[in-house]
Chains A and B, each alone.
Chain A
Amino acid sequence: AQSVTQPDIHITVSEGASLELRCNYSYGATPYLFWYVQSPGQGLQLLLKYFSGDTLVQGIKGFEAEFKRSQSSFNLRKPSVHWSDAAEYFCAVSSGTYKYIFGTGTRLKVLA
């Protein structure tokens, strides 16, 4: 069965520091992978997605993620965090159908 693990429930970084949010998945074939961001009281906004091809994908707001098949990971990175990046981040996996499996989320706090 497909599953997604986000090992870090909370992460705190200082503004201007680099960020890496971890996502590990379990799936037999090449998955479709997504990162979404949710600001308080808002819906989920798509940051980036991986379907195939280049394993390093660029997204909005300066985020990128790298698909590593050997590690079953799709970690999200940003070189310099801004205070406005404080939010909750969700990783999701799909087999290429309607069925998305979401991780439980990582809440990011940014210190001024």
Chain B
Amino acid sequence: DAGITQSPRHKVTETGTPVTLRCHQTENHRYMYWYRQDPGHGLRLIHYSYGVKDTDKGEVSDGYSVSRSKTEDFLLTLESATSSQTSVYFCAISEGQESSETQYFGPGTRLLVL
């Protein structure tokens, strides 16, 4: 158990509304990640963070922004939700303080955009 929680676990929203998902970790890991999981695509990286206020884009970052104001929290915001952003979102951390360390995943947030 890597001490990762995600909230909310389920959310239904309407197209055009902003949505924020939260990832919280309790073990002071430096690296945190947001992925989305879609059938036929596996997991794809949206954004990642390598420290407080240090973030960078992943392969599917369009339409998403992130913030990390504290080590323990990594927020993912859908600025104006679209139906294509209906997905399951996973937060992950790299064990320890290096990006080369093994990634561990949170329980996921299931988002439905109507």
A interface residues with partner B (beta carbon < 8 Å): 4, 32, 34, 36, 41-46, 49, 90, 92, 94, 96-100, 102-105
A100 touches B108 (CB 8 A): no
Q: Which of A32, A46, A104 contacts B100 (CB 8 A)?
A: A32
**Residues of B near any A CB (own CB < 8 A):** 31, 33, 40-45, 48, 50, 90, 94, 99-100, 102-108
A97-B107 in contact (CB<8A): no
Contact sample, A vs B, 27 pairs, CB 8 Å cutoff: A32-B100, A34-B102, A42-B107, A42-B108, A43-B105, A43-B106, A43-B107, A44-B43, A44-B90, A44-B105, A49-B102, A90-B42, A90-B43, A94-B100, A98-B31, A98-B33, A98-B50, A98-B94, A98-B99, A99-B45, A100-B43, A102-B42, A102-B43, A102-B44, A103-B42, A104-B40, A104-B41
* Chain B residue at minimum C-beta to C-beta distance from A102: B42
Q: How far is the CB of B61 from chain A (nearest CB, A)?
A: 14
Question: Which residues of the partner chain A approach B31 to less than 8 Å between Cβ atoms?
Answer: 98
Q: Majority SS of interface residues in chain B?
A: strand
For A99, the chain B residues whose CB sits under 8 A away are 45
The answer to whether B41 and A100 touch across the interface, beta carbons within 8 angstroms, is no
Cα–Cα, bound, A35→B94 (Å) = 16
CB distance from B94 to the nearest CB of A (A): 7
In contact, A96 and B42 (Cβ under 8 angstroms): no
By beta carbon, the residue of chain B nearest A94 is B100
